[in-house]
Amino acid sequence: MSVQRQLREDWDNREYEQIIADNVKNIANFLSSFELSCRSKLASLSDKLNLLEKKVEFLEARSISKDQARQSVLQVYKDLQRMTPKFWWDFGMHDMPLGVFRSVLKQQFMKNAHITDLRIIDRLVGETKQVTSMH
């Protein structure tokens, strides 16, 4: 009788087993397509990263010491302050007093006063020199 009962239970549960089997197939298909999608996206990101790495040069410090970096910052600051009237005039900031414009530039320099890495300091000095050389 237990064999008959087992057969009856199996027969009654056959549609649940089919639903579970179909869902397992759906999950497997989803995971497979997800894996392929992720693999292609990761490959694309890897290619982009490789291109960026080729474009980016290793940033070496030009300054040998903190004192030398400080001197270059002060020099570029002085150069920028000397050019302030020209910037003020070229960008039409006549509604702002020149002294206020100078203090805003000073605030921008002071905003980076906490930076101690020579490479970053040299990079910022270089960027500022580029801006000043354009005018």
pLDDT (tens digit, 9 = 90+) per residue, 115-132?
A: 988 888 888 888 888 877
Label residue 99 exposed, middle or buried (CB < 10 Å: 0-12, 13-18, 19+).
exposed
pLDDT at 61 over 70: no
Under DSSP, the state recorded for 97 is: -
The per-residue pLDDT of the chain, averaged, comes to 84
Full domain range(s) for residue 109: 66-134
Examine the domain organization and report whether 74 and 35 are in the same domain: no
In a domain, 104, yes or no: yes
pLDDT at 12 over 60: yes
Residue 33 one-letter amino acid:
S
Give the rounded percent of residues in the chain with a pLDDT score beyond 70: 92
Summarize the confidence of residues 103-121 as an average pLDDT.
Answer: 89
Examine the domain organization and report whether 71 and 130 are in the same domain: yes
Sign of torsion over alpha carbons 34, 40, 43, 45:
negative
CA–CA gap between residue 2 and residue 30 (Å, rounded): 40
User: Is residue 122 left, alpha or beta, with left meaning phi > 0 and alpha meaning psi from -120 to 50?
Assistant: alpha
Examine the domain organization and report whether 94 and 50 are in the same domain: no
In sequence order, the 6+-apart residues with CB closer than 8 A to the CB of 68 are: none
Q: What integer pLDDT is reported at residue 7 of this predicted model?
A: 78
Count of domains for the chain: 2
Summarize the confidence of residues 54-83 as an average pLDDT.
Answer: 82
CA–CA gap between residue 84 and residue 73 (Å, rounded): 16
Most confident among 19-23, 52-56, 129-133 (mean pLDDT): 19-23
In sequence order, the 6+-apart residues with CB closer than 8 A to the CB of 81 are: 102, 105
